Every structure is written in C-alpha cells, then in structure tokens.
Amino acid sequence: MRKDLQISPPATPRLLVVGGSGRLGRLLRRAWPLAGAGVRPLWQARSPEAFAGLGGPDLVFDPLRDAEAFAAAVSGVDAVLMLAAPVAGDAAHLATTTDLARAALRAAAGRPLVLASSAAVYGLAQGLCREDAPVAPVSDYGRAKVEMEAAVASAPGVVVVRIGNVAGADALLGHPAAAARTLHVFEDGRAPRRSYIGPQALVRALARLVRLATAGADLPEVINLALPGTVGMEALLEADDQPWQAEPAPATAIAQVELDVARAQRLGLVPEEGATARRIVADWRELETLRARQSDAGQAEG
C-alpha cells in the first residue's frame, strides 16, 4: 500500500480509547490537541478519579465487567483503540491482557480495532525486529502480549501495533531524579539504544491508522510503531539536560532493540527521516511546557 493513499474515512472519525487513564493513555490525551490528529477521541476510564488534572473521562465503565456499557460506548464511535492492559504483576494478573483484548473484540462488533502491543515480544533480539519474525519474549509482560496477539490473530478488522519506547511513558524521561541517572554502558562506550517515538508523533501515527481503517483500507495484521532507527538513552538524557553516570552493563543487558518500521512508513504512519534525541525530547517537552502553563493559570485563577 502506498503511503500517499487517498482515503475517504468519516470526516472526523470518532475513536473510543479504552485505557485512557494509564500512563500511556494520559500521555496521549495531553498530546492529542497538539498533534492535529483529525480524529475525535473519547476517553474511557474505570473511575472519574483516574483522570485527575485532565478534565475527567468521557466514559466510565469496566471493560471486563460491564459488557453492555462497553458495547453502548462502541455504538457511538467509528473505531476502538485498546490501551488497557496491566504492565506489572504476576503472570496470572498479566494474563488479563488477553481477556481485555477479547472483550474489546466482542464490543467492537466488526468496527476497526487497534490493539496496543509492545516491542517486548521480541525479547533478546539484537538485529532488526520485523513483524513476520518469530517472537521470543523473556518477561511475563512480553509473554502476555504474545498471548494477546495470538488470541485475536486473523480476526477481521483488528490491527496489532507493537509500540517501541514512548518518550515520557517509559522509565527514562518524565521521572525527575535527585541525582544523576545511572545507565548501563557497553564495551563500545554507548548506553542502550532503542526504537523511540514521541507522544505527538505517536498520536499522529495512531490517528492516521484509524483514518485508514475507517476508510476500509487493507491493513497488515501487525505493525511495528516507532520512529526509524534507534536513539541512545544517554543522548535522550543529554537532550533533556539531565545528568547521568555510567555503570558497566551486565551480561544480560541488551545493547540495541531496533524495530523495522517499513510497514509503518509505507502506510504514512511515521516519517522517512531517522529519529534524533533532540526531536523526540522536543516532542515530549512541548507537553510538559503546556502542562506547566495550565497549572500556573489554574493557580492564578485560584
């Protein structure tokens, strides 16, 4: 499929975002107005308190326990983005990732459904990670994502996006430390390199995917989603003016995880130019600047 494909989706597709109160969901909600996405999101949470500071959710229900509310919410939208899934806990708790995906599939009832997976499915892979390569997760989290993918494989209208590291949603940026951060450094003198994407770039990619899906485009079942190339973690900290200190990498550390994003590029989800630490940090910092301004304005009104 050509990335300049002419599509005719609804004028402004309506998208139900399930799991909008998680760390990634909250980040995307802050980024959505800045990204010029051309898609109208409706944000779900299991409680209003989960959206403190963001104006509250549009819809409140438990996707696992309230099938009727889930179906009713879907009836008013053109597509569903499923972000809801545990990110920690034992294997039994993480297994609810599959339960949530199945609940979303039932509620979607044939509408386009985008399911968030992770680069963790590739495990210790050192080379370019392609969507059609065997997966080999090494963590319970990664295995839960693989099981989720298998449960919905070949289901009509479903696209799984294996998302790389998202600036501001991982453990690197957005976590102020009192002292310099410690990074593993390998024999080549470099810290770990990963496929990254900024929150606004991710919103644009997801919105483009939704517009394609609602237009009836023939889409791959699985798509890697990140900016091209890799970025060093030390480069991101330096671009964010954060100090760091080196620690020799243990034998189990992974030097580089790079996602092959050729599919995403062909669909126009991500640009051709490679990622740079400066652009990724600028994408994320714009959200932080906006939040600071909104906080100052709120204090001034109070």
Give 192-232 pLDDT, tens digit per residue.
999 999 999 999 999 999 999 999 999 999 999 999 999 99
Residue 41 bridge partners (DSSP): 15
Taking residues 279-295, what's their average pLDDT? 80
How far apart CA 28 and CA 112 sit, in angstroms, is 19
Would the pLDDT of 3 be above 60? no
Residue 272 C-alpha from the chain's centroid: 19
Residue 258 bridge partners (DSSP): 128
User: If DSSP states are collapsed to H, E and C, what string results for 178-233?
Assistant: CCCEEEEECCCCCCCEECEECHHHHHHHHHHHHHHHHCCCCCCCEEEECCCCCEEH
Q: Which residues have a Cβ under 8 Å from the Cβ of 132 and sit 6 or more positions away?
A: none
Q: Which CATH architecture has domain 14-166+197-226+258-281?
A: 3-Layer(aba) Sandwich (3.40)
From 81-95, 97-111, 253-267, 283-297, the region with the lowest mean pLDDT: 283-297
How far apart CA 291 and CA 269 sit, in angstroms, is 26
Burial of 100 (0-12, 13-18, 19+ CB in 10 A): buried
Residue 97 C-alpha from the chain's centroid: 15
Decide: 111 and 77 in contact? Cβ < 8 Å: yes
Going from the C-alpha of 276 to that of each of 16, 168, 236, 273, the distances in angstroms are 31, 15, 9, 9
Q: What's residue 223's pLDDT?
A: 98
Which amino acid is it at 244?
W
Q: Which residues have a Cβ under 8 Å from the Cβ of 45 and sit 6 or more positions away?
A: 20, 21, 51, 57, 59, 60
How far apart CA 105 and CA 113 sit, in angstroms, is 7
Would the pLDDT of 295 be above 70? no
Reading the block at residue 181, the tokens are 């951060």
Taking residues 4-32, what's their average pLDDT? 83
Q: Which residues have a Cβ under 8 Å from the Cβ of 95 and sit 6 or more positions away?
A: 144, 147
Q: Which residues have a Cβ under 8 Å from the Cβ of 6 and sit 6 or more positions away?
A: none
How far apart CA 85 and CA 100 sit, in angstroms, is 7
Q: What's residue 1's pLDDT?
A: 40
